[in-house]
Amino acid sequence: MRSARLEVVGRLAGGVTHDFNNLVMIIKGYSDLLLDSATPQARPYIEEIKNAGERASGLTRQLLAFSRKQVLEPQILDPNQTVRNMVKMLRVLIGEDIEASDQPFRANRAHTGRSWSN
């Protein structure tokens, strides 16, 4: 019974994820088009939209992996680059007084970003 429920949840997650991914692709595509003709003042805001689309794509991959029961593949990450990719959001969430180690570690990229945000 439990496995049947998990299978239904997995299929539902897969279906919703495909719809979500279609919306994310539109956001990413339009942000690329906007960047081509952006003014210097607008460029940072459009880049943030594009970065949010990239993070949403990572979430989509996680959901698809769950719906297919795939194992996510951890990889060696540079924490400095990971933090640089999320620095604006992290400053709002945790403040600027947090220090991070600069030693590489093994983790799943999408999980790491979400873990630090949560």
DSSP string, 17-51: HHHHHHHHHHHHHHHHHHHHT--TTTHHHHHHHHH
The total domain count for the chain is 2
Binned at pLDDT 50, 70 and 90, residue 113 comes out as low
50 and 101 belong to one structural domain: no
Per-residue pLDDT tens digits for 54-102: 888 888 887 777 666 555 677 888 877 777 776 666 665 665 666 555 5
Domain that holds residue 102: 72-118
pLDDT value at position 71? 59
Do 76 and 116 fall into the same domain? yes
For residues 63 and 112, membership in a common domain is answered with no
> Do 13 and 37 belong to one domain?
yes
Tokens of 53: 């689309």
For the segment 29-51, what is each residue's pLDDT rounded down to a tens digit? 999 999 999 999 999 999 999 98
Whether residues 99 and 118 fall in one domain? yes
* pLDDT greater than 70 at residue 117: no
The residue type of 37 is: S
Whether residues 56 and 80 fall in one domain: no
Residues 51, 93 within the same domain: no
Q: CA-to-CA distance for 98 and 94, rounded, in angstroms?
A: 7
